[in-house]
Amino acid sequence: MTMRHAMRALGGILRREMLRLFGQKGRLAAAVVRPLVWLGIFAAGFRAVLGLSIIPPYETYILYEVYIVPGLAAMMLLFHGMQTSLSMVYDREMGSMRVLLTAPLSRWWLLAARLFANAVTALPLVYVFLFLSRFWEVQPPMLGYVLALPAFLIAGLMLGAVGLALSSLIRQLENFAGVMNFVIFPAFFASTALYPLWRFEEVSPALAIVAQLNPFTYAVELIRFALYLKVNLFALAVCCCAFLGFYALAVVGYDPGRGFWARRGAE
């Protein structure tokens, strides 16, 4: 495997994912409208009842909309990651996964390339949402948008790796909806996307612990801090470790001797 070959393959995978994403107008629209609905309707109702104290990275009192935008951006990455996982299962069912897995490249690289493509294709959608959220007075510093780029990539890689690992465990496309419900909703609601951790601690210490153990919380916090020109090193470390862990699981899951393909014939 030469570097040139590996990079050409990465480019090919990225191009294919872009073509597929931008060919699905409904998915594109849903990806942007979903967080806008949360921002425009859910946040509007909650800002009246939910007071927020000053918590890092914010240095003053903030609107609830300002608080939830990083969480909604992370939600977009979460949905995008799961959608990619779904497309992996779809590719497997439809046969096109075989083309990927019989390429003369290491499987770990092919999976990493797929993850990278997933994270990159989510970026335009997230930035469109961030741009639109400015109309709700969510206006982080312009430099924050730049600093948030690596945060989006890292969070996207981590959430994509979760989806990839899941896709290696799912046997049929039909099973995917159930898995989505058991992953997306608990990950999103039991995180700091909608409420700060101290709110959880007030209401339910047990839930606060769950939120602290939830890797999605750290994706949200990594993005939140980056948007306001700060680096949350702990969140960064957790995201990187979670990425490596889930990615390793995915590599094992797609191993020809141990993973899905080895079990498949037994179905």
- Chain residues binding other proteins by CB under 8 A are 1-2, 4-5, 8-9, 11-13, 15-16, 19-20, 23-24, 94-96, 98-106, 110, 255-257, 261-266
Q: Pick the closer one to other proteins by CB: 13 or 220.
A: 13
Nearer residue to other proteins within complex by CB, 12 or 57: 12
Distance (Å, whole) CA 196 – CA 101: 42
For residues 235 and 151, the answer to whether their CB atoms sit within 8 Å is no
Which one, 21 or 187, has the nearer CB to other proteins? Answer: 21
The residue (of 51 and 95) whose beta carbon lies closer to other proteins is 95
Nearer to other proteins, 15 or 171 (CB): 15
Other CB atoms within a 10 A radius of the CB of residue 263 amount to 13
Cα(192)–Cα(187) distance, rounded to whole angstroms?
10
State in angstroms the smallest separation of the CB of 106 from other proteins: 7
Alpha helices by DSSP H, listed for the chain, are: 3-22, 25-37, 43-49, 64-94, 97-101, 107-133, 142-169, 176-189, 197-203, 205-213, 215-227, 233-253, 260-264
**What is the C-alpha radius of gyration for the chain, rounded to an integer number of angstroms?**
19
Smallest distance from the beta carbon of 20 to other proteins, in angstroms?
6
Q: How far is the CB of 220 from other proteins (least distance, A)?
A: 32
Shortest distance, CB of residue 89 to other proteins, whole angstroms? Answer: 15
- Compute the least distance from the CB of residue 18 to other proteins, in Å: 10
**Least distance to other proteins, CB of residue 246, Å:** 23
**Shortest Cβ 104–other proteins spacing (Å):** 4
Q: Which one-letter amino acid corresponds to residue 208?
A: A
CA atoms within 13 A on the CB side of 215: 23
List the alpha helices (DSSP H) in 23-63: 25-37, 43-49
Contacts of 243 (CB under 8 A, 6+ apart): 154, 157, 158, 161
Query: What CA–CA distance (Å, rounded) separates 155 from 246?
Result: 13
One-letter amino acid at 155 equals A
Nearer to other proteins, 24 or 212 (CB): 24
Taking the least distance from each CB to other proteins, the nearer of 48 and 99 is 99
